[in-house]
Amino acid sequence: MNGQRHVLLGLASGTPTWTTTICQRLEHHGHSSEFILCTGTADLFNRLGTGRLFSALFIDHRTVGLDRELISRSTSAGCPVVVVGGDDESPRWVTLGAAAVIGSDLPVDTFRQLLSHHASPILTTDHLDLGSGPPESASHGWSGRLVAVTGPGGTGASGLARHLAAGMGNDPRMRGSVLLLDACLEADQAFLHGLPDDHLGPDLQAATQAHRGGDPDRAGLEKLIVRPTDRPYGLIPGLRRRRDWPSIGGPSLRATLVNLRRHHLVSVVDVDPLIDLTPPGQAIGPSTPGEPCRIVMSLADLVVVVGGTGEHAARSMERLLSNLGDAGISASRLLPILLAEPATGRRTARREARRLDRATPADLDSPLVLADSTSGSPGTDTLLAREVLGALDLLAGRLDDGGVVPVAVGSLGTLDQ
């Protein structure tokens, strides 16, 4: 096709021989093709952020900084990643998001096939299409349920998440396979579980760092989980300081949640209501404090929205439900809960629930009114678990493996003639 060419980016620590070989391969492939060797990751990200189209990124497997974050940022910019060398670790690179792996000698036929299948040709009429961000990571095999618990500040969402995890952990059907994870920017679960501020155990930051270079197995995950005394669930405490939120990383946090969900029947995630409503295309730039919430919500089977009584609390919950709807979360995945404080009583809470029910979409379930979980009312754990498990049972299984796959007529069987 006239005007068709490939513009390849390169990144390596040092100058390996394949950076010269790739120029020779491109000379035979097409005179107008181009290879640009970046001076480092900063140069790479600057080029990806300019809006210019690139066919693919060829990166040496020994490059410092080659991990899930780098691969995700390049892929989000429409530039698939090809790892050069490291053939013995090919499955690992593909798991981290690489499009392909090729030997450092760049075999001619393999190189030509790779460009044909993975690299996008650049046309003079091409334009930048940010699309909807990077594709969801596919989950292979069985996956447990993920329940997000959120609510405006001061409503007791963190306490309710703790009671929910306890109720599910005590349910014989869960077989003790329940995890509570604190994804809040100002994490409270460590304090609520009696852990000292200077505890040296694992936390969310350590868990996400462990997933930057791959997915730990069950034994590796166990080292990242705290087992509180007399608690029927595992705990991953949150960030020790709010300012550390950039360290958890968007793709690494997603990979952490997906991997934990594969090893637990139910994962309860305590998360802030600060969902990121920025355009998905912004993912190639610096992340925002709302990114953890967006990632948790995108993976959650059910979102428990906790509110309190009173005019201000009801208004805050109404705004939060609206924001979640704007973020694309369907009403069928939302379970609103109003916590009745002892001073106001359940009658006031039910009145607030009716008002909230009138102000929210018709397809949203009426808020569930419960006694404030912080008051230690007997049966709170069991009641919460029963309500949430019942809501989960009503939901259809979510497709995390690429969406609905069209089935051709007659492909599932034959008709007797």
pLDDT tens, residue by residue, 370-404? 666 554 455 778 888 888 888 888 886 554 444 44
Cα torsion 161, 162, 165, 168: sign:
negative
Task: Write the pLDDT tens digit of every residue in 314-371.
Answer: 778 888 888 888 888 888 889 988 876 655 555 655 665 566 555 555 556 666 766 6
pLDDT exceeds 80 at position 228: yes
- How large is the average pLDDT for residues 197-206? 82
pLDDT exceeds 90 at position 9: yes
Give this prediction's pTM: 0.68
Same fold, 7-117 and 145-394: yes
Query: Domain coordinates of the chain in residue numbers?
Result: 7-117, 145-394
Q: Give the pLDDT of residue 156.
A: 85
Higher pLDDT, 409 or 89: 89
Q: Give the pLDDT of residue 364.
A: 62
- How large is the average pLDDT for residues 57-83? 91
Q: Give the pLDDT of residue 296.
A: 92
Task: Write the pLDDT tens digit of every residue in 104-137.
Answer: 999 988 998 999 889 888 765 444 444 444 444 4
Q: Which fold has domain 145-394?
A: Rossmann fold (3.40.50)
Beta strands in 98-197 (DSSP E): 100-102, 145-150, 178-182
Q: Give the pLDDT of residue 124.
A: 52
As separate numbers, helices (DSSP H) first and strands (DSSP E) second, the chain gives: 14, 12
Least-confidence region, from 123-127, 136-140, 147-151, 284-288: 136-140
CATH 3.40.50.2300 fits 7-117, yes or no: yes
- pLDDT level of residue 230 (50, 70, 90 thresholds): confident
Written as six digits, the tokens of 241 are: 């300081």
In whole numbers, what is the pLDDT of the chain averaged over residues? 80
Asked if residues 101 and 86 have their Cβ atoms less than 8 Å apart, the reply is yes
Nearest to 70 by CA among 37, 39, 102, 48: 48
Q: Give the pLDDT of residue 316.
A: 82
Higher pLDDT, 284 or 165: 165
Rounded to whole angstroms, the Cα distance separating 113 from 42 reads 30
